């Protein structure tokens, strides 16, 4: 097994993959149905079927397909989520959105929460798992994303408290009732300038859904719509919590959108790298 992992790691490194050895170990573990630790020790004999499966996975990774898509799952907020190329891969930075939302919900346990652009359902489900009295509505423009998110909600047994709707921001597309009001609105929306897409790593540029990352010239198209619509859907002193690109928060571009919509920024939270990552805002009347 060690030789196979070594060979695969060399192949992945030759493709410019920095985590080549780790990826080879994870893919071997998945192919053999064992833990990564067992793959590292190399103490089992590999069947022809396992070797074929491993080769298929390595070939996919050589094409720079994200390992999360090859494995079919990704951990987020200590919860495992099913993912595929139909949804954005959840990032650690987005856990800041969940933590901020849970801080608000702690003071209002029965809060109604709206998650805009839910994708795999990561934010919505993480909130529901950790706030058992909260009621979450999660929307996405992609029907495939809604299918993925619904399966994840069922897997984590929160389907009775998370309602999925197909919508374009606040505009309902599934023919159901309009969205009501919420104590918390959260979102990790697309926020990349269209011109930035070509410079992204192949894993993102070629495999992740463009709809989930690109937001027009300046990267503010979706954030502008969320900020404009939020005041009509925030209850009382409800809070809007959105993830943004570091440059947007630093340049106060998002703050300007928020203020023009009648909200006020109450805080900007940095990520672990020290970059502004999450903007929190409330009604200017609150």
* pLDDT tens readout for residues 199-231: 899 999 999 999 999 998 888 999 999 999 999
Residues 6+ apart with CB under 8 A from 283: 231, 234, 236, 237, 238, 262, 263, 264
Is this model's pTM higher than 0.85 or not? yes
C-alpha 83, offset from chain centre: 10
CB 113 within 8 A of CB 101: yes
* pLDDT tens readout for residues 22-62: 999 999 999 999 888 888 887 678 899 999 999 999 999 99
CB 188 within 8 A of CB 243: yes
Q: How far is residue 252's CA from residue 250's CA, in Å, rounded to a whole number?
A: 5
Supply 22's token pair: 């780790």
Per-domain boundaries in the chain = 2-63, 79-283
Report the CATH architecture of 79-283.
Answer: 3-Layer(aba) Sandwich (3.40)
Q: What is the helix, strand, coil percentage profile of the chain, to 5?
A: 45, 20, 30
Q: How far is residue 23's CA from residue 54's CA, in Å, rounded to a whole number?
A: 11
């Amino acid at each position: 097994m060690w030789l196979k992992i070594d060979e695969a790691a060399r192949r992945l490194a030759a493709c410019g993959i920095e985590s080549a050895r780790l990826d080879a170990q994870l893919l071997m573990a998945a192919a053999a149905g064992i833990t990564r630790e067992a793959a590292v020790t190399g103490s089992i004999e590999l069947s022809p079927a396992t070797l074929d499966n491993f080769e298929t996975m390595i070939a996919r990774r050589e094409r720079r397909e994200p390992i999360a898509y090859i494995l079919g799952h990704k951990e987020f907020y200590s919860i495992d989520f099913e993912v595929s190329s139909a949804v954005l891969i959840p990032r650690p930075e987005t856990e800041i959105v969940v933590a901020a939302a849970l801080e608000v919900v702690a003071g209002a346990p029965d809060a109604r929460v709206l998650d805009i652009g839910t994708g795999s359902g990561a934010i919505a489900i993480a909130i529901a798992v950790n706030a058992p009295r909260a009621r979450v509505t999660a929307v996405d423009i992609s029907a495939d994303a809604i299918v993925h998110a619904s399966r994840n909600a069922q897997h984590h047994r929160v389907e009775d408290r998370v309602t999925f709707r197909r919508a374009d921001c606040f505009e309902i597309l599934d023919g159901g009732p309009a969205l009501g009001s919420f104590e918390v609105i959260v979102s990790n929306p697309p926020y990349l300038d269209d011109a930035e897409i070509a410079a992204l790593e192949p894993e993102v540029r070629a495999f992740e859904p463009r709809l989930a990352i690109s937001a027009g010239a300046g990267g503010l198209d979706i954030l502008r719509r969320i900020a404009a619509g939020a005041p009509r859907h925030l209850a009382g002193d409800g809070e809007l919590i959105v993830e943004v690109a570091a440059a947007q928060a630093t340049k106060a571009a998002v703050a300007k959108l928020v203020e023009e919509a009648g909200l006020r920024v109450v805080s900007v939270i940095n990520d672990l790298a020290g970059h502004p990552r999450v903007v929190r805002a409330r009604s200017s009347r609150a």
